[in-house]
């Protein structure tokens, strides 16, 4: 090992470890844009970095990103997309318990590569009707299963006849009849659906779709050749889907510290719901409130821990070491950190509380280290560089706004001046609290219909494409950050991070400046 040089001393004076940097700025709350990370000697290429993270003994992700338990961010489609990229989706609780169970089931029953609700047509339509449907919905495919009113498979409309020259033909006359359509039953797919589908396409060259039916010939889904070929490469992929021991996609669900009409913790209701979630295969529950360092949250975590000793529990939100320690003592495995940093959160303005996120993460990390639990940075992330900074102190990040514009989010789409947006709202907004999230902010359902102070806003996010494309961009940025610091994984990132506080002018310098930015293709 080389001797320490004067240059090393110079660097160590300016670029500080977390335990030196943050205490030196103990009287100043710092967030992501207030700080930059110093590069280190590196032998690590970004593509070789590993982003695996373990949040609990039974909860390991291949990508340290979790979609927020918000009603305009995470339902089954988002949770599926997150797990397929190696992350985790937290199904929100702004719905009935029955609905939440259904959402979890749809994730856990998802067969990778099987399109479970394919777009279908009926025999009475014309090819002209189908062409109009493709144009209206902007479909990128033109082959459709044909079903009757009962959902029975009656044929397959090939893309080869979905052309203007055949516009006047009935779908029933133009489609391949059922007797000539290749299909397999759900039972025939067991125990490895992808292997079965892959072998089918090998045995039937020229066929690009495999339909799946039940014993009564009801259409249950379809495989495409392109999807199966892509999935077959999964074993060699760097980022694998997040799966449980039974090869099902991981899924989390948020639960409320709900109370009875008398104000007591609704113990039986909570334990019954969590028990049913476990029966459906849920991999983690999150006791999610704006203020996690409270008796109600602590009692809820204790209740769940006592009833389900092995269940990974995420709890929050807190911004203090003692808050982390409290929830850890109650039985939480991973603690959410963040109060007020979200783009649609107004807690700091309305209530006058909250800690800038990077300072909060450092303080919380000290508490987590003492208790042997993990922490999750929740809020304030607007770009991949923020995620890198957050991961120097935490084990994962929760994203809301970054994912709210994706096609997999449940928000409604609106069009304004030719641009398409998705509705995005804070769970502390009046609309969200009236829909069911009032308990998150310490109000009862009765309070939600009265005059209460909202701690979030309703907003719009420009439609941003698929979760896959967004996460690909974020992942690339995270890997670049690790490469600059010479960190092969997140543990090394924690060790090698060196911090420097920057000025407003430095913040300006960090972004594109003194240029007119254009988009490729314009």
The CATH number of residue 187's host domain is 3.10.580.10
Regarding whether 132 and 108 lie in a shared domain, the answer is no
pLDDT value, residue 1: 46
Regarding whether 160 and 102 lie in a shared domain, the answer is no
Of the three residues 196, 224, 252, the one that is the final residue of a domain is 224
In this prediction, residue 93 has a pLDDT band, given cuts at 50, 70 and 90, of: very high
pLDDT value, residue 426: 61
CA distances from 337 to 22, 31, 39, 194 (A): 17, 13, 26, 39
Q: 512 by DSSP, 3-state: which?
A: coil
**Is 519 among the domain residues?**
no
* Cα 109 from Cα 69, distance rounded (Å): 20
pLDDT at 420 over 90: no
- Are 499 and 16 a contacting pair, CB within 8 Å? yes
pLDDT at 236 over 70: no
* Cα 298 from Cα 321, distance rounded (Å): 15
pLDDT value, residue 436: 52
Q: How many domains are contained in the chain?
A: 2
* Cα 241 from Cα 62, distance rounded (Å): 7
Of 231-245, 388-402, 441-455, the least confident: 441-455
- Are 72 and 515 a contacting pair, CB within 8 Å? no
Estimate the crossing angle of helix 76-84 against helix 467-484, to 10 degrees.
40
In this prediction, residue 422 has a pLDDT band, given cuts at 50, 70 and 90, of: confident
CB atoms within 10 A of CB 253: 28
Of the three residues 194, 224, 254, the one that is the final residue of a domain is 224
Regarding whether 389 and 332 lie in a shared domain, the answer is yes
- Are 317 and 348 a contacting pair, CB within 8 Å? no
**Is 6 among the domain residues?**
no
pLDDT value, residue 43: 95
Residues 6+ apart with CB under 8 A from 463: 405, 407, 413, 420, 421, 422
Percentage with pLDDT > 70 across the chain: 91
Q: Which residue stretches of 115-192 are H helix?
A: 127-137, 171-174
pLDDT at 321 over 70: yes
Regarding whether 474 and 366 lie in a shared domain, the answer is yes
Structure tokens at 162: 């979905």
Query: 100: domain CATH number?
Result: 3.20.20.70
Is 345 annotated as catalytic?
Answer: yes
Q: What is the mean pLDDT of the chain?
A: 89
Regarding whether 356 and 209 lie in a shared domain, the answer is no
* Catalytic site residue from 248, 425, 440, 498: 440
* Cα 424 from Cα 38, distance rounded (Å): 35
**Residue burial 454-472, b: 16+ Cβ < 10 Å; e: rest:** bbbbebbbebbeebeebbe
CA distances from 317 to 162, 287, 398 (A): 53, 9, 12
Residues 6+ apart with CB under 8 A from 8: none
Q: What is the mean pLDDT of residues 457-468?
A: 81
- Are 253 and 100 a contacting pair, CB within 8 Å? yes
**Is 233 among the domain residues?**
no
- Are 93 and 282 a contacting pair, CB within 8 Å? no
DSSP classification of residue 248:
P
**Is 9 among the domain residues?**
no
Regarding whether 302 and 214 lie in a shared domain, the answer is no
Of the three residues 192, 224, 256, the one that is the final residue of a domain is 224
Q: 308 by DSSP, 3-state: which?
A: coil
Max distance between CA atoms of the chain, in angstroms, equals 84
* Cα 122 from Cα 219, distance rounded (Å): 13
- Are 46 and 483 a contacting pair, CB within 8 Å? yes
pLDDT value, residue 451: 47
Structure tokens at 17: 């470890």
* Catalytic site residue from 251, 330, 345, 399: 345
Regarding whether 140 and 84 lie in a shared domain, the answer is no
* Cα 34 from Cα 272, distance rounded (Å): 45
pLDDT value, residue 424: 77
Residue with more model confidence, 111 or 181: 181
Q: Which residues pair with 16 in a beta bridge?
A: 499
pLDDT value, residue 452: 57
Regarding whether 73 and 96 lie in a shared domain, the answer is yes
Regarding whether 251 and 174 lie in a shared domain, the answer is no
Regarding whether 480 and 373 lie in a shared domain, the answer is yes
Regarding whether 207 and 266 lie in a shared domain, the answer is no
* Cα 76 from Cα 91, distance rounded (Å): 7
* Cα 304 from Cα 50, distance rounded (Å): 32
Domain that holds residue 391: 46-112+241-410+469-509
In this prediction, residue 230 has a pLDDT band, given cuts at 50, 70 and 90, of: confident
Q: What is the mean pLDDT of residues 401-418?
A: 87
Q: What is the three-state SS of 353-398?
A: CCCCHHHHHHHHHHHHHHHCCEEEEECCCCCHHHHHHHHCCCCEEE
**Is 257 among the domain residues?**
yes
pLDDT tens digit sequence for 27-65: 999 999 999 999 999 999 999 999 999 999 999 999 999
pLDDT value, residue 73: 94
**Is 158 among the domain residues?**
yes
Regarding whether 491 and 364 lie in a shared domain, the answer is yes
**Is 426 among the domain residues?**
no
Q: What is the mean pLDDT of residues 7-32?
A: 94
Q: 357 by DSSP, 3-state: which?
A: helix
DSSP classification of residue 188:
G
**Is 516 among the domain residues?**
no
Is 440 annotated as catalytic?
Answer: yes
DSSP classification of residue 333:
S
pLDDT value, residue 522: 44
Strand pairing of 313-318 and 153-157?
unpaired
Strand pairing of 53-56 and 153-157?
unpaired
- Are 265 and 300 a contacting pair, CB within 8 Å? yes
Instruction: Name which of 93, 94, 97, 75 is nearest 272 in CA terms.
Output: 97
């Amino acid at each position: 090992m080389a001797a320490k040089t004067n240059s090393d001393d110079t660097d160590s004076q300016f670029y500080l470890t977390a335990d030196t940097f943050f205490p030196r700025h103990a009287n100043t709350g710092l967030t992501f844009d207030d700080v930059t990370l110093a590069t280190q000697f590196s032998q690590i290429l970004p593509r070789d970095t590993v982003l695996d993270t373990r949040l609990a003994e039974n909860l390991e992700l291949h990508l340290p990103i979790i979609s927020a338990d918000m009603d305009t961010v995470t339902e089954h489609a988002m949770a599926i997309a997150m797990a397929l990229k190696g992350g985790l989706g937290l199904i929100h609780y702004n719905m009935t318990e029955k609905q939440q169970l259904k959402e979890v089931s749809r994730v856990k029953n998802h067969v990778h590569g099987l399109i479970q609700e394919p777009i279908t047509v009926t025999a009475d339509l014309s090819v002209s009707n189908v062409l109009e449907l493709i144009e209206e919905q902007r479909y990128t495919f033109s082959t459709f299963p044909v079903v009757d009113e009962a959902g029975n498979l009656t044929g397959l409309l090939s893309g080869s006849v979905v052309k203007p020259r055949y516009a006047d033909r009935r779908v029933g006359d133009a489609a391949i009849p059922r007797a000539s359509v290749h299909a397999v039953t759900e039972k025939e797919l067991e125990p490895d659906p992808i292997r079965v589908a892959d072998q089918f396409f090998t045995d039937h060259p020229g066929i690009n779709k495999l339909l799946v039916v039940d014993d009564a010939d009801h259409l249950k889904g379809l495989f495409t050749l392109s999807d199966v070929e892509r999935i077959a490469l999964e074993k060699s992929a760097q980022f694998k889907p997040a799966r449980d021991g039974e090869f099902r996609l991981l899924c989390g669900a948020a639960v409320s510290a709900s109370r009875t009409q008398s104000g007591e913790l609704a113990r039986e209701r909570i334990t019954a719901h969590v028990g049913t979630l476990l029966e459906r295969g849920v991999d983690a529950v999150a006791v999610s409130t704006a203020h996690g360092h409270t008796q109600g949250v602590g009692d809820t975590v204790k209740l769940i821990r006592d009833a389900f000793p092995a269940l990974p529990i995420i709890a929050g939100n807190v911004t203090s070491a003692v808050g982390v320690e409290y929830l850890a003592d109650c039985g939480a495995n991973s603690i959410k950190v963040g109060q007020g940093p979200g783009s649609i959160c107004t807690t700091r303005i309305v209530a006058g509380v909250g800690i800038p996120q990077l300072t909060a993460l450092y303080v919380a990390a000290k508490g987590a280290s003492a208790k042997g639990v993990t922490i999750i940075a929740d809020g304030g992330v607007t770009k991949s560089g923020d995620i890198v900074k957050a991961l120097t102190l935490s084990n994962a990040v929760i994203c809301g706004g970054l994912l709210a514009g994706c096609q997999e989010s449940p928000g409604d789409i609106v069009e304004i001046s030719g641009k398409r947006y998705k509705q995005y709202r804070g769970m502390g907004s009046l609309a969200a609290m009236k829909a069911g999230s009032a308990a998150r902010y310490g109000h009862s359902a009765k309070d939600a219909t009265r005059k209460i102070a909202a701690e979030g806003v309703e907003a719009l996010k420009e439609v941003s494409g698929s979760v896959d494309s967004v996460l690909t961009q974020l992942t690339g940025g995270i890997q670049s950050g690790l490469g600059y610091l010479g960190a092969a994984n997140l543990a090394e990132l924690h060790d090698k991070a060196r911090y420097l506080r920057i000025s407003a002018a430095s913040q300006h310098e960090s972004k594109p400046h003194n240029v007119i930015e254009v988009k490729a293709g314009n």
